[in-house]
Structure 1
Amino acid sequence: MATAKINWLKIMLLVTALSVPTLPVRADFSQTRTTQIQLRVDAPSGTAEANRLNGFAISGSGIDASGVLNQGSNLNPNTQFTAPTNSSPFNFSLNTFSSDNATPVSLTSTGNNTLPAYSKVSVTNGGNREGLSGNISRSGEGTVTPGGSGTNAILTQTNSFSVFENSNF
């Protein structure tokens, strides 16, 4: 009788196991890796802006001026400026400027650049690639080594990992 109970128990467990639906389970893995290296050596550059006008500019307060200030675009040399004699505060500024003679200019890659003595001058020497480097390994990892003046090294790395689980209940 004990054997019959055990067999009956086995049959009940088997029926129960077969009647429970199995749940399919699936996991998806996604990986994206992007590595970008940008190395740049700047060329020499410069600007020289020539003044095309003659003239002057006067500003201030507390000063007396007698006579006409200008003769055309030039300051009248006969104009008299008088500061106060009673210890009152005053300020005075006089700037004169004349036109520049335009001169052709060329820039060289060696950095030995000569620009004319114009009113506004700006020069940037070119970079040198010595020391500037970048590398991307087989695994996608990047490294950069900055160079000297006039160089840029930019490393951009993006890593994305995603796991999607899809289960039907």
Structure 2
Amino acid sequence: MTVETGLVNADLRRKRSVDLAQVIQARYGDDVTRLRVGLLAHPYPHPVPDRHRSEVEVTALRGGSGLVLVASTAPDDEAPAAGVGIWELTVATRDGTVLPRGEAEGWARALFGYRCAPLVYRRPSGGGLFRRPSRVDFVVHHGEHGPMHPSDVEAFGACA
């Protein structure tokens, strides 16, 4: 039996990000809670007419650079389907330098939950072929019972 290298590397990256999320939760628990409160203040099924933001500035665990974390809820008119909400997280360096390896995903998993499989990367910017980005955006789709995989969003909207 052969194991594909890409799958093994993805599993190792996921494990490292979960480990880092636990360290972030232990060290920056108050900041993670402050971001979560900004998201949970507008839970489904309450209507969200406007975008709501919560912002925190912290020092990166790796590399020592400053990070700006912005958690937001998207308004209902941006929802991909009826009954589906959107939570977003932007992780960026304050001075435009590269993000420390794994830091962005670690913060996303600390905020959205360690086992948040439907974590979707969106719009990494400031990087290139041989340079890590200075900003990464994440999005999580969620319904009444919590996060959902993006492939389930359309089917959920048809049933709602």
Give the TM-score normalised by the residue count of structure 1. 0.18
Bigger relative CO (Cα 8 Å, ≥ 6 apart): 1
Larger of the two Rg values belongs to structure:
1
Which protein is richer in strand relative to its size?
1
